[in-house]
Amino acid sequence: MKISKSFKTYIHIIFVFLFSKNVFADNDFSKNIVIYEKPKVIKELKFKDLNLQNVDLTNKQGNIMILNFWATWCAPCRREMPSLENLTHKYPEIKVYAINMEKPNKLKAQDFFKFIGVLSLDIYFDPELKLVKQFKMRGLPTSILIDKNGKEFGRVVGEIDFMDKNFIEILKKYI
């Protein structure tokens, strides 16, 4: 099968376009942040811990919480996770729940955290993907932002730097 010269040219043009789009991409991840005018009620907030024991935060109040949904195969998750850990060190009053979206595999999840240098975040699972359906998630990473009253006040769709000063300013309004 012979490939035409023009087809090869088109492929090269498309490749150069996609490559340059990645290289010169805007690093302003604040476009990934959505803050609601009126916080949304969360009817149920249940998932599993590392040992597959139930965690129920349905009526938990008092702290800002971030539910961060991730997977070991997700490159943006890998890049943002260290900044999420740094956020917990700088602001211990913000409770972070890093929820793995894959079939529960304790060793694989722990190895992933070790590989990316994340040592202090706890690992959680949503084995039945109930939270994915509940929050109508469309991709990873996604972080659900929950206020002190247990309501979703916003979300982050895609990768961000959790230590970004603009993101910190948003969180400070709710602390």
* φ, ψ dihedrals at 70, nearest 5°: -150, 170
How does pLDDT run across 150-175, given as a tens digit for each residue? 999 999 999 999 999 999 999 999 98
118's tokens: 């994340």
How does pLDDT run across 94-138, given as a tens digit for each residue? 999 999 999 999 999 999 999 999 999 999 999 999 999 999 998
- Distances in Å between the alpha carbon of 130 and those of 22, 29, 52, 77? 33, 27, 15, 20
- The mean pLDDT of the chain is 89
Q: Please provide the DSSP assignment of 3-37 as one string.
A: PPHHHHHHHHHHHHHHHHHHHT----GGGGEEEEE
Distance CA 126, CA 130 (A): 7
pLDDT given at position 26? 45
Domains and CATH numbers, the chain: 28-172 (3.40.30.10)
Q: Please provide the DSSP assignment of 47-105 as one string.
A: EEETTS-EEE-TT--SS-EEEEEE-TT-HHHHHHHHHHHHHHHH-TTSEEEEEE-SSP-
